[in-house]
Amino acid sequence: MIKSLQNQITQTEQTFETDVKNAQSIEQLEHVRVAFLGRHGKLTELMKQLRGLSTDDKRVVGPQLNQLKTRMQEVYEQKEQQLLKSQQDEQNQHKKDFDVTLSRKQDVTGGLHVYTQIIRQLEDIFISMGYSIADGPEVETGYYNFETLNIPKDHPARDMQDTFWLNVPDMLLRTHTSTVQAHVMETTQLPLAVFAPGRVYRNEATDASHNFMFMQAEGLFIDKNVSMSNLLATAEQFLQAIFERDDLSIRVRPGYFPFVEPGVEIDAECPFCTDGCSICKKTKWIELLGAGLVHPNVLKTSGIDQEKYSGFAFGFGIDRIAMIKHNIRDIRLFQSSNLEFLKQF
Cis peptide before 191 (omega within 30 of 0): yes
Alpha carbons 332 and 345: distance in angstroms, whole number: 16
Using the rule CB under 6 A, is 201 a contact of ligand PHE? no
Using the rule CB under 6 A, is 260 a contact of ligand PHE? yes
Nearer to ligand PHE, 115 or 221 (CB): 221
Q: Which of 46, 65, 193, 291 binds ligand PHE (CB under 6 A)?
A: 291
Which single residue brings its beta carbon nearest to ligand PHE?
Answer: 315
Instruction: Tell me the H-state helices in 291-343.
Output: 296-301, 318-326, 339-342
Amino acid letter, residue 303: G
Q: Which of 315, 320, 323, 325 binds ligand PHE (CB under 6 A)?
A: 315
Q: Calculate the alpha carbon distances from 290 to 117, 176, 221, 231, 239 in Å.
A: 23, 11, 14, 11, 13
Q: Which of 12, 148, 163, 178 binds ligand PHE (CB under 6 A)?
A: 178
Binding mask 215-244 for ligand PHE (x = CB under 6 A): ---x--------------------------
Nearer to ligand PHE, 35 or 228 (CB): 228
Q: Which of 180, 313, 321, 331 binds ligand PHE (CB under 6 A)?
A: 313
Window of 6-14, 234-242, 308-316, 328-336 that interacts with ligand PHE by CB under 6 A? 308-316
Using the rule CB under 6 A, is 257 a contact of ligand PHE? yes
Maximum pairwise Cα distance, the chain: 132
Inter-residue contact 255 to 263 (CB < 8 Å): yes
Instruction: Tell me the H-state helices in the chain.
Output: 2-22, 26-37, 42-50, 55-97, 114-128, 142-145, 179-187, 228-242, 296-301, 318-326, 339-342
Amino acid letter, residue 248: L
Window of 31-39, 52-60, 246-254, 290-298 that interacts with ligand PHE by CB under 6 A? 290-298
Within 49-108, the residues that bind ligand PHE by CB under 6 A are: none
Note the residue count of the chain.
Answer: 345
Q: Contacts with ligand PHE: how many residues (CB under 6 A)?
A: 11
How does strand 171-173 pair with strand 139-141? antiparallel
Nearer to ligand PHE, 41 or 255 (CB): 255
Nearer to ligand PHE, 68 or 182 (CB): 182
Using the rule CB under 6 A, is 292 a contact of ligand PHE? yes
Residues forming contacts to ligand PHE in the complex (CB under 6 A) are: 176, 178, 218, 257, 260, 290-292, 313-315
